[in-house]
Amino acid sequence: MTANPRNYIPLKPVEFLILLALAEQDQHGYGLTLAIAERTDGAVRLEPGNLYKVLKRLVTDGLIEPAGHRAVAELDQERRRYYRLTKLGGQVAALEAERLTTLLASSAVQGLTRQFGTP
Amino acid sequence: MSPQSISLSERVYAALLRCLPRDFRREFGGDMRDLFRDHLREARRYAGRRGVAALWARTIPDLLFTALQQYEDDMFHAMGQDLRYALRILRQNPLFSGVAVLVIALGVGAVSTIFSVANAVVLRPIPAMTRPENVFVIERTRAAGGNSRSVSYPYVRHLAARAKTIEVAAFDMVPLSMSSGGAGVNAQGNLVTASYFDVVGIRPALGRFFTAAEDAIPDANPIVVISHEFWQRQFAGDSAVIGRSVQLNGRRFTIIGVAPPRFTGLYPVIRIDVWAPLTMQRALRRGDHLLESVESGWLDLVGRVASGSTPAVASAELAALTKEYASTAERGLSDDFAEFTAVRLAHPTGFPGDSGAPVTVFFVALIAVSGLVLLIASVNVASMLLARGVARRREIAVRIALGAARARLVRQLLTESVLLFAAGGLLGIALSFVATTLIGRIPLPLDVPLVIDPTPDARVLIVSLALALATGLAFGLAPALQASRGDLATALRGDTAGGGRARSRLRNTLVVAQVAASLILLATSGLFVRALARGQRVDPGYDISHIATMPLDVGLSGYDSVRAGAFHRALIDRVRALPGVRSVAYTRTLPLTLTTMGYSIAVPGYRGASGSGGQSDQSSAAVVDEGYFDVLRLPIVEGRAFTAADNATAPKVAVVSRRFAEKYWAGESAIGHVFKLDSSTTVTVVGVTRDVKFAKLDERPGPFMYLPIAQHYRADLNLLARTDGDPSALAPLIREAVRALDPTLPQPAVVSLERATSVALLPQRFAAGVTASLGAIGLVLAAIGLYGVLAFSIAQRTREIGVRIALGAVAGQVVRMVVGEGLRLVWIGAAVGLVVALIATRALAPFLFGVDPFDVMTFVLALLILGGAGMVASWIPARRASRADPMTALRHD
């Protein structure tokens, strides 16, 4: 029984950001918070509870999976648990990206930007 | 930037992590701590102490939110899991679940049904009123206790004109006969002050209500408001009804308004069809000077407390006005104004007069009895659950071994029992719908139109379901705690022999409770059945069998006393000539219908028992004609009965009861003595009769007198006709005789006197029917439960019994032992039940017709029935156990 990726759309922004980060490379918790903060210009800062709550849900849904503990060079070789994207997770993220692309390309969004956006 | 401060923050964080649910902490606690350390490092690196502070400011809410959300998720998840699992388990044992649900349904159904009836009669609010919490029945009280509710019209006007903190209204019940050409219909009416509608707080559905001006001048405004229901029934909801004129009691009235839907007066059990201005009293109701009379108490008083005032303030004001009225009122003001000086505001009970309190007590008693059935049913299911807990010990032990927490197991088992009780509760409510429909069909032998709709409403549904869930929790808890108390080693070995001391103690307690509840139930139903039997056997002092009776008030159809007298004479001649009729008579009040008339009398030379009562005394009376004593076979023991010669112009006479004669003329013949009636008429005693119970079967015969109709004439009379055969066979003939004399009169109802008087036994009949049904259900449930528990505990001891038999015990000994143990529990339960029943049944005494609440017969019988049930319930499984082949029994696990 393969799950239909469409059943997971739309994703919450945080979920999408996590999937996006994991699409680039497997990550540990701290790595994810850094990557997401960077991608959102510091607008999204994930605290541990919030992050692992979402990770738990993504694992339960089968979009990501734990990828074991590895030593992290930047953290003085301390060991951290890594997560990676599953195939389903990749499909869902791609589908969500398509959805957002279509949304952003819509005339409504363009009109909005023209009228209220920063020059 | 000491490593110590880092570890301090970390240590605090690690401690705070404990607020997360255990599962989540186990899974992610380490990672979260690591991430926190990473963030901490980063914060220190870039922002020093301020960075750490900012980090904490974000961390604390983060932890709190996460914890809350996870707990919530877990709970719903676990609840869903519990429910799914419980459903699966219950579906796997359809027999167990079915029986349990059925048993609970009987219990909940019993309570729900009785509560529905009580709800309909006592609790349901008067419909269509605005702010009913401000509406009060006004009654006067006296220091010595007791109250007086009936008041005169001048008193009402005194209050209404002066009271500022409460708006006052008065009303009176009048039977009406309405016609708009053709045969009339009977209707129930209220004479009301114009303020009535404001006080009650209703708005007309159509047209308007009376104005104060229309209620000011006597006889000036023949207008009426009709009920919405009457409008639908009699006028098919035609809006052109406003302005229509109808004949009411022979007088022409104009309909000016329709009351809102469902409003049928302040006593919702008595349906009111028509409201007329109080000042139209003379047109609709007897009493030429009622409106002026300061003596006659004939009105019920209600009031609406003004906004900004309180009931206490209002009753104080009314008390002051009452005092003022009593001191200024003209001559003849009745004594009770000297006595009843305080005023009390009571919430309307939906019942006239003081009947509210006994009715409430009555229903509370019945609800308690139905509660016993639910108790027995619940105990049954609890012992079933307990037994199943033993059967499931292996499953439970495995789950404990696999790491299930005990709390979680208990919750799981509780979910199962609550689910069972919820299902049983729903089925029970369905049962109560059926039962109340059946109860609603029982015709009531009353001449007022009682409207009782016992169909369960939202209140009944909520109470019943809440009750089912609460009992599910209460009776599921002990078995669940018991079942989850696992002795892993024995349970896993599959050893189900015995069940532990605690378990059998709980089981025994359940048996004892069940037997006790059954005994109380049986005793109660036995007492009511005995009361009913005694009530039916009570000899009132005359013979009410083989008599047809018919109420007839031609005054309502506009007859004056001359025409009415001629009509009555013509009718009685026609009825006397009917085939099978032995004798005929008229009486103003029917015996045994809870009503009597009271007269004040003054007997020369009599100074009262204590000497304080003065010369005036009260006596109950019946106004009857010369045929009455003959029709009722009421012997005249001295002197004579009335004759046709005792007419309006002849000297006034009376026939008195033996007690009457003994009270006033002890030691001499009463014949020829005189007394004053209503302080004006002088009456001579011409006859003495046997003592009778007149109004109620449980009354003690007191002084009683009979007055001749011809000398106290009224147009509303009851015809009595004694026949050789079935009195109801006379009905069409009597009705035909009425129609032949005047086809415009409403169709009178002809019933047997036995049926008409069965109202005297109504509470007992209802209670006996209800408690006997409940008693039967309870007994069956208790017997099944007893059998189940004993059978189960004996099955558990199969191996022990096998050993005994293998060691040489004779089957008979084994049976005796097992039955003896079963009966021991029954006797303990019976003893407990007996003690409780002896205390509780005392409250039933007012309804028992003098059957002693400690009636030995009833209790002995209840004990015998229970003992018998216990004997059978323990003998069957005992015999099965004793017949078991010892080898099989020994292998039994």
Of B31, B39, B66, the CB nearest to A50: B66
The b-or-e profile of B228-265 (16+ CB within 10 A means b, else e) is bbbbeebbeeeeebbeeebbbbbbebebbbbbeeebbb
Query: Which residues in A lie closer than 8 A to residue B29 (C-beta atoms)?
Result: none
Mean pLDDT across B504-525: 84
Q: In chain A, whose CA is at the least distance from the CA of B38? A: A30
Handedness of CA B777, B781, B787, B791 (dihedral sign): positive
pLDDT tens by residue, B564-615: 889 999 999 999 999 989 999 999 888 887 777 777 788 887 765 544 444 5
3-state DSSP assignment of residue B115 = helix
pLDDT bucket at B487, cuts 50 / 70 / 90: low
Query: Which residues in B lie closer than 8 A to residue A48 (C-beta atoms)?
Result: 31-33, 35-36, 39, 59, 62
Establish if A56 touches chain B: CB-CB under 8 angstroms. Answer: yes
Q: What is the per-residue pLDDT for B396?
A: 81
- CB-based contacts of B462: which residues, under 8 Å, 6+ apart? none
Q: Measure the CA–CA gap between B55 and B49, rounded to whole angstroms.
A: 10
Indicate yes or no: CB of B59 within 8 angstroms of CB of A78: no
CA angle at residue B507 from B501 to B512, to 5 degrees? Answer: 125
pLDDT bucket at B350, cuts 50 / 70 / 90: low
Establish if A59 touches chain B: CB-CB under 8 angstroms. Answer: no
Q: Measure the CA–CA gap between B367 and A25, rounded to whole angstroms.
A: 71
Q: State which H helix or E strand residue B304 sits in.
A: strand B299-305
User: A57 — alpha (psi -120 to 50), left (phi > 0) or beta?
Assistant: alpha
Indicate yes or no: CB of B20 within 8 angstroms of CB of A45: no
Indicate yes or no: CB of B62 within 8 angstroms of CB of A48: yes
CA distance B1 to chain A (A): 17
Mean pLDDT across B538-543: 84
> Which tokens go with B188?
């129930």
- CB-based contacts of B546: which residues, under 8 Å, 6+ apart? B722, B723, B724, B725, B727, B752
Q: Measure the CA–CA gap between B544 and B718, rounded to whole angstroms.
A: 14
Residue where the block lists tokens 């791609």:
A94
pLDDT bucket at B164, cuts 50 / 70 / 90: very high
> Which tokens go with B491?
């349970």
Establish if A81 touches chain B: CB-CB under 8 angstroms. Answer: yes
Handedness of CA A33, A37, A38, A39 (dihedral sign): positive
Q: What is the per-residue pLDDT for B384?
A: 83
Indicate yes or no: CB of A53 within 8 angstroms of CB of B69: yes
User: Peptide bond preceding A10: is omega within 30 degrees of 0, i.e. cis?
Assistant: yes
Handedness of CA B857, B862, B863, B869 (dihedral sign): positive
**DSSP structure class, residue A28:** E
In whole numbers, what is the pLDDT of chain B averaged over residues? 82
Cα→Cα distances B488→B229, B305, B386, B401, B411, Å: 69, 69, 18, 7, 19
Q: Measure the CA–CA gap between A100 and A92, rounded to whole angstroms.
A: 12
Q: What is the per-residue pLDDT for B648?
A: 86
Query: Which residues in A lie closer than 8 A to residue B63 (C-beta atoms)?
Result: 49
Q: Measure the CA–CA gap between B837 and B882, rounded to whole angstroms.
A: 37
pLDDT bucket at B207, cuts 50 / 70 / 90: very high
pLDDT bucket at B258, cuts 50 / 70 / 90: very high
Taking alpha carbons only, the member of B762, B763, B738 closest to residue B749 is B738
Q: Measure the CA–CA gap between B619 and B596, rounded to whole angstroms.
A: 10
Structure-model confidence comparison of residues B397 and B156, the more confident one: B156
Q: What is the per-residue pLDDT for B60?
A: 86
Indicate yes or no: CB of B24 within 8 angstroms of CB of A55: no
Indicate yes or no: CB of B36 within 8 angstroms of CB of A48: yes
Mean pLDDT across B875-885: 77
Q: Give me the DSSP letters along B239-296.
A: GGGTT-EEEETTEEEEEEEEPPTT---SSTTB---EEEEGGGHHHHSS-TTTTT-SS-
Of A45, A47, A80, the CB nearest to B34: A80
Indicate yes or no: CB of A47 within 8 angstroms of CB of B59: yes
Cα→Cα distances B477→B153, B380, B403, B472, B824, Å: 62, 14, 21, 8, 26
Q: Up-side HSE of residue B18: CA atoms within 13 Å toward CB? A: 5
pLDDT bucket at B179, cuts 50 / 70 / 90: confident
Query: Which residues in B lie closer than 8 A to residue A78 (C-beta atoms)?
Result: 34
Identify whether the C-beta of residue B670 lies closer than 8 Å to the C-beta of residue B664.
yes
Q: What is the per-residue pLDDT for A40?
A: 92
Q: What is the per-residue pLDDT for B757?
A: 78
Q: What is the per-residue pLDDT for B330?
A: 58
3-state DSSP assignment of residue B1 = coil
Q: What is the per-residue pLDDT for A14?
A: 93
Indicate yes or no: CB of B39 within 8 angstroms of CB of A48: yes
pLDDT bucket at B498, cuts 50 / 70 / 90: very low
> Which tokens go with B754?
């036995």
Q: Measure the CA–CA gap between B526 and B862, rounded to whole angstroms.
A: 8
Burial (Cβ within 10 Å: 0-12, 13-18, ≥19) of residue B352: middle
Q: In chain B, whose CA is at the least distance from the CA of A68? A: B31
Taking alpha carbons only, the member of B633, B654, B626, B627 closest to residue B539 is B633
Residue B58, Cα to own-chain centre: how many angstroms? 61
Length of chain A: 119
Residue where the block lists tokens 């005249």:
B636
Structure-model confidence comparison of residues B447 and B66, the more confident one: B66
Identify whether the C-beta of residue B584 lies closer than 8 Å to the C-beta of residue B721.
yes
Q: What is the per-residue pLDDT for B145?
A: 59
pTM of the model: 0.65
Q: Measure the CA–CA gap between B743 and B718, rounded to whole angstroms.
A: 19
The b-or-e profile of B80-91 (16+ CB within 10 A means b, else e) is eebeeebeebbe
pLDDT tens by residue, B33-59: 999 999 998 888 888 888 888 888 888
Quote the crossing angle between the two packed helices B856-883 and B798-806, to the nearest 10°: 70
Residue B624, Cα to own-chain centre: how many angstroms? 36
Residue where the block lists tokens 């220091």:
B143
Sequence-distant contacts of B760-764: CB under 8 A, at least 24 apart: B760/B535, B760/B592, B760/B593, B760/B594, B760/B696, B760/B697, B761/B532, B761/B535, B761/B536, B761/B697, B762/B444, B762/B445, B763/B362, B763/B847, B764/B528, B764/B531, B764/B532, B764/B535, B764/B847, B764/B849
Establish if B23 touches chain A: CB-CB under 8 angstroms. Answer: no
**DSSP structure class, residue B637:** E
The b-or-e profile of B402-437 (16+ CB within 10 A means b, else e) is eeeeeebbbbbbbbbbbbbbbbbbbbbbebbbebbe
Q: In chain B, whose CA is at the least distance from the CA of A34? A: B39
Q: Measure the CA–CA gap between B696 and B699, rounded to whole angstroms.
A: 5
Residue where the block lists tokens 């006080």:
B199
pLDDT bucket at B331, cuts 50 / 70 / 90: very low
pLDDT bucket at B1, cuts 50 / 70 / 90: very low
> Which tokens go with A14?
């945080």
In whole numbers, what is the pLDDT of chain A averaged over residues? 90
Mean pLDDT across B359-376: 84
Cα→Cα distances B890→A7, B156, B610, B800, Å: 60, 88, 84, 8
Residue B129 has pLDDT above 90, yes or no: no
Taking alpha carbons only, the member of B862, B832, B840 closest to residue B368 is B840
Establish if A75 touches chain B: CB-CB under 8 angstroms. Answer: yes
CA distance A30 to chain B (A): 5
pLDDT bucket at B355, cuts 50 / 70 / 90: low
Q: Measure the CA–CA gap between A56 and B358, rounded to whole angstroms.
A: 65
Query: Which residues in A lie closer than 8 A to residue B70 (C-beta atoms)?
Result: 53
Mean pLDDT across B313-334: 78
> Which tokens go with A24?
């680039």
